[in-house]
Amino acid sequence: MHKNKGPIYYGDYLQLSKLLDSQEPLSKKHADETNGECHDEMLFIIVHQVYELWFKQILHDLNSILETFNQDYVPESALSSVVQKLSRIKKIQPLLIGQFDVLETMTPMDFLEFRDLLIPASGFQSVQFREIEIKLGLGTGDRLNVDREFFLGRLSEKDKTKLGEPESAPSLLKLVEKWLERVPFTQIKNFNFWEEYQKAVESILRDDEATIMQNSASLSDLQKKAQLENLEVTRSTFRSLFDERAHEELIESKQRKLSQKAILNALFIMLYRDEPMLAQPFQVLTSMMDIDENFTTWRYRHALLAQRMLGTKIGTGGSSGHQYLKRAADNNRVFIDLFNLSTFLIPRSRLPVIPAEIKKQMNFYV
């Protein structure tokens, strides 16, 4: 704990003279007899500045989370601090989404009054937003080609260099992949969990097939055929989970991001979340999904804002505007593999029983 080092003044501590002196509407600077200062430009500046401050706080927490994961062994005790920081990011995100309501009190006509003064500046140049995306796991190479061009083309050389650093460092996605690959329990002597899991899945699918056959009286031949075909698709989806080559192909075609081993271990955590030892890893995975989902919501909300303000006009940064932003919201998912794991969840009552010896280790028994 630090001790007081002498009197400190509120405004000095928060550097308010700097902070509150940092709003300079361009419409005020360029005001003349025909065009005066635009009242709403102050709101436009302040809302953006508040976003950047929250981005700074998110990066502060994200950097600490990355540091924790960037070690060969992540102690259990460190996970609670990771969960706490992920939760903080999750609490900040609704504020980011909510701020659009405040900005939308500015009408599109009011925006038009000063919009041209901003060209070619745009949110494309928010280095902190990019840094968050890259650090979470959305590298420049993960973007669609056309988006990459826009994004890089709008940045100054200084900012490009700045982003090179996080780009070459391991992202949260990559570090969590390594961490997941090290999860024990699934390959313990005398207990091949995945063999047991596959048997459970087979038995569930056989039950489903039996149900279809039993109800066949109420189904037309076409309906029955369609249901059996769907069941076969489900069966092959489950099989693909264990097919190493199929998984590699999915990674190459960018349909999967995490290694097969990491995905299987994440699934194990999801399935046995009730075991005390897995409760915190489960929290880590769910928090990452929440953060991904909240950023997606932010992107859709921002796309709607752009449509409301611009209609189908292009953005000040030169993109197609609303269309570009909607596409980015669809594509720029980071932890999508974790979402897709729900495909492979099975009811608790059908889960393979974990041998007592392993269960003991998962319960913090000595």
Q: Does 291 bind ligand HEM (CB under 6 A)?
A: no
Q: Does 310 bind ligand HEM (CB under 6 A)?
A: yes
| Interacting residue with ligand HEM among 68, 122, 198, 340 (CB under 6 A) | 122
**Beta pairing partners, 225:** none
295 binds ligand HEM (CB under 6 A): no
324 binds ligand HEM (CB under 6 A): yes
Taking the complex as a whole, the smallest distance from the CB of residue 134 to ligand HEM amounts, in Å, to: 12
Can you read off the two tokens belonging to residue 219? 């189904």
Tell me whether residue 123 or residue 139 sits nearer to ligand HEM (CB atom): 123
Q: From CA 35, how far away is CA 18, in angstroms rounded?
A: 28
User: Which residue in the block uniquely carries the two structure tokens 């988006």?
Assistant: 147
Least distance in angstroms from the C-beta of 149 to ligand HEM? 11
Q: What is d(CA 132, CA 92) in angstroms, rounded to the nearest whole number?
A: 14
Is 337 in contact with 251 (CB distance < 8 Å)? no
Query: Which tokens is 64 given?
Result: 């600490």
Q: Is 316 among the residues that bind ligand HEM (CB under 6 A)? A: yes
Which residue's CB is nearer to ligand HEM, number 49 or number 237?
A: 49
DSSP state of 33: S
Of 65-73, 161-169, 252-260, 310-318: span binding ligand HEM (CB under 6 A): 310-318
Cis before 120 (ω within 30): yes
59 binds ligand HEM (CB under 6 A): no
103 binds ligand HEM (CB under 6 A): yes
Question: Which tokens go with 45?
Answer: 């500046």
Q: How far is the CB of 140 from ligand HEM (least distance, A)?
A: 11
Give the residue with the Cβ less far from ligand HEM, 139 or 318.
318
136: closest CA among 63, 203, 201? 63
- Least separation, in Å, of the C-beta of 11 and ligand HEM? 26
> Which residue, 317 or 352, is less far from ligand HEM as judged by CB?
317
Q: How far is the CB of 147 from ligand HEM (least distance, A)?
A: 7
Number of residues that bind ligand HEM (CB under 6 A): 25
Q: Interface with ligand HEM by CB under 6 A: which range of 20-28, 168-176, 242-250, 319-327?
A: 319-327
Q: Is 43 in the site for ligand HEM (CB under 6 A)?
A: no
Beta bridge partners of 191: 188
Q: Of the ranges 180-188, 189-197, 266-274, 322-330, which one interacts with ligand HEM (CB under 6 A)?
A: 322-330
Q: Is 155 helix (H, G, I), strand (E, B) or coil?
A: coil
Q: Is residue 321 within the footprint of ligand HEM (CB under 6 A)?
A: yes
Minimum CB distance to ligand HEM, residue 334 (Å) = 13
The strand ranges marked E within the chain are 187-188, 191-192
Produce one character per residue of 229-239: b if its CB has 16 or more CB atoms within 10 Å, e if not: eeeeeeeeebe
Q: What are all long-range contacts of 17-20, with beta carbons under 8 Å and residues at least 24 apart?
A: none
Q: What one-character DSSP code corresponds to residue 316?
A: T
59/287 Cα distance (integer angstroms): 16
Report the sign of the C-alpha dihedral through residues 196, 200, 203, 205, in that order: negative
> Which of 43, 46, 231, 305 touches ligand HEM (CB under 6 A)?
305
Single out the residue of 88, 77, 91, 286 nearest to residue 176, CA to CA.
286
- Using Cβ positions, the residue closest to ligand HEM within the complex turns out to be 123
Stretch of residues binding ligand HEM (CB under 6 A), selected from 156-164, 230-238, 315-323, 340-348: 315-323
CB of 115 to ligand HEM, least distance (A): 8
Q: Is residue 318 a contact point for ligand HEM (CB under 6 A)?
A: yes
Type of residue at 361: Q
**Residue 287: which H helix or E strand, with range?**
helix 276-310
Radius of gyration of the chain (CA): 26
The binder of ligand HEM chosen from 124, 197, 268, 335 (CB under 6 A): 124
Binding site for ligand HEM (CB under 6 A): 47-48, 51, 103, 111, 122-124, 126, 129, 151, 302, 305-306, 309-310, 315-319, 321, 324-325, 328
